[in-house]
Structure 1
Amino acid sequence: MADSVGVIERLWRYPIKSTGGEHLRSVAVDERGLMGDRLYAVRDGEGKFGSGKNTRRFRRMDGLLQLSSRYPRGTADQGPAELLDPHGQVVVDPTAYLRRHLGRPDVELAREGEISHFDQLPLSVLTTATLDGIRRAVPGVPVDERRFRPNMLVRTPPGTPPFVEDEWIGREATVGDTLRVAFLRSSERCVMINQAQRDLPHSPLILRTIARAHDNRLDALARIVIPGTVRVGDRLVLDGTRAAAIAS
């Protein structure tokens, strides 16, 4: 049975991984995810990508969230991603700037090759119900979706409980007219969500709250079943189809 859970309020794409993203009105989505999302990353001399955490593939690089990225004229097919400094100005030589900004002579801006820049799955979806729940738990701390870096923010009806995304796991959904996705799991959060970015101050309360309230997990992660185009205002409609398990 179909279940309309809300409408797309905002769309976000992050051309350069771990930098501030660009706000879109519509975007094409293929099997990889939003066209151009995290297509570029900051890579160090050991081949690890700049992130908010240290793992086998990623290296924590504080300072990236002070920067942002975009595509010329908003489309990924118009050339490489542009890096913007903390004042919103386009950087002429991204690699040289990143080396100065991060204090690391071994980094460079790199396009995705054989190794994915995604932490897990290509699509992250978050609801306003969950954001509102976090705001109530940390009054006085600025909380918006930029801390959690979703691709889609869904406006849910009044009375929707926080962490309603849990109910989507294992189900497929249609977004707009053509896009179809399968929700498989949620993201395990790290200290990156506490970090300052632009007008959002550093706050350790964010991660602490999510750890206490929801076992450090937040959002719904999906794979793409049928590519399509998504637009602000599109409905997200869940159905009863069970999502196939992702290979480990």
Structure 2
Amino acid sequence: MAELIGVVEALWRYPVKSTGGERLDAVEVDGRGLAGDRLYAVRDGDGKLGSGKNTRRFRRMDGLLRLSSRLGGRLGAPELFDPLGTPVADPDAFLRAYLQRPDVGLAREDEVSHFDQLPVSVLSTATLDWVRRAVPSAVVDERRFRPNILLRTPPGTPPFVEDEWFGRVGRVRGGVALAFIRSSERCAMTGTAQPGLPHAPEILKAVARAHDTRLDALAEVARPGRLRVGDAVALA
């Protein structure tokens, strides 16, 4: 018997990796994830992608989270906004001046994936509310954790309930199905300042103490379709 785990409260897409995203009422979901999510990134002359950390694929570029982006119609080129929310006329020129790097520019995904891990991140309101209680001094909302889907869970749902979904499939009737795999390992980016959210390193410390820096449920797309705010999600 299917188990209702929640209702989609918010949908987020991040057209340019590591910048602020756009909140949607509905979105197509395909094998890659939410259509247009992380489709673009800031790429440097070495081919590394702008991020909040340094890895084999990524290069830390401080300040990206203060920017935001949205996609044009039919997944056209993204529109980039400066820290005050003003549209940028020439994204490449702006990024070079803003980051003080002459070798950067916007790049569409090719053979190198723009995703840190898996394509879809789902966060429960039960876990988000726990963070608010654990760190009352911080301003907390879902943007700290950059989920694609914020799921409104039933009253009394325990925090970190996402762990119970791993190995199962969340389904929307007649629509999308997501195969839950594991959780994200969080980094200092959770406490990084962004518009409306001041610097708050205590958030990562609280998550590390309580849950080994892990938070959310990462998923692959088991069945594509259209996803809408208000859709009920049940575990198969």
Contact 1:176 1:231 in 2 (8 A): no
Distance 1:176 1:55 in 2: 39
1:136 to 129, 133, 137: 133
Q: State the shift of 1:175 in Å.
A: 2.5
Runs of 4+ in 1 over 2 A off after TM superposition: none
Q: State the shift of 1:87 in Å.
A: 1.6
Does the residue aligned with 1:95 lie in a helix, a strand or coil? helix
Distance 1:209 1:48 in 2: 31
Distance 1:116 1:190 in 2: 19
1:78/1:168 CA distance change after superposition, 3 Å: closer
1:208 partner letter: K
Normalising to structure 1: TM-score of the pair? 0.93
Instruction: Indicate the residue corresponding to 2:4 in structure 1.
Output: 4
Instruction: Indicate the residue corresponding to 2:233 in structure 1.
Output: 236
Instruction: Indicate the residue corresponding to 1:243 in structure 2.
Output: none
Q: State the shift of 1:177 in Å.
A: 2.5
2:119 to 119, 122, 127: 122
| Backbone CA RMSD of aligned residues | 0.9
1:91/1:185 CA distance change after superposition, 3 Å: same
Q: Does 1:90 align with 2:87?
A: yes
1:78/1:170 CA distance change after superposition, 3 Å: closer
Q: Does 1:69 align with 2:69?
A: yes
Distance 1:206 1:9 in 2: 22
2:13 partner letter: R
Instruction: Indicate the residue corresponding to 1:246 in structure 2.
Output: none
Contact 2:36 2:75 in 1 (8 A): no
Contact 1:68 1:88 in 2 (8 A): yes
Distance 1:213 1:103 in 2: 38
Runs of 5+ unmatched residues, structure 1: 240-248
Distance 1:22 1:177 in 2: 25
Instruction: Indicate the residue corresponding to 1:53 in structure 2.
Output: 53
1:14/1:78 CA distance change after superposition, 3 Å: closer
1:238 partner letter: L
Does the residue aligned with 2:227 lie in a helix, a strand or coil? strand
Q: State the shift of 1:38 in Å.
A: 0.4
Runs of 5+ unmatched residues, structure 2: none
Instruction: Summarize deviations over 1:23-75 as a string: whole Å, max 9, x none.
Output: 00000000000000000000011111011111100111110011000013xx4
Instruction: Indicate the residue corresponding to 1:167 in structure 2.
Output: 164
Does the residue aligned with 1:222 lie in a helix, a strand or coil? strand
Distance 2:76 2:222 in 1: 27
Does the residue aligned with 1:218 lie in a helix, a strand or coil? coil
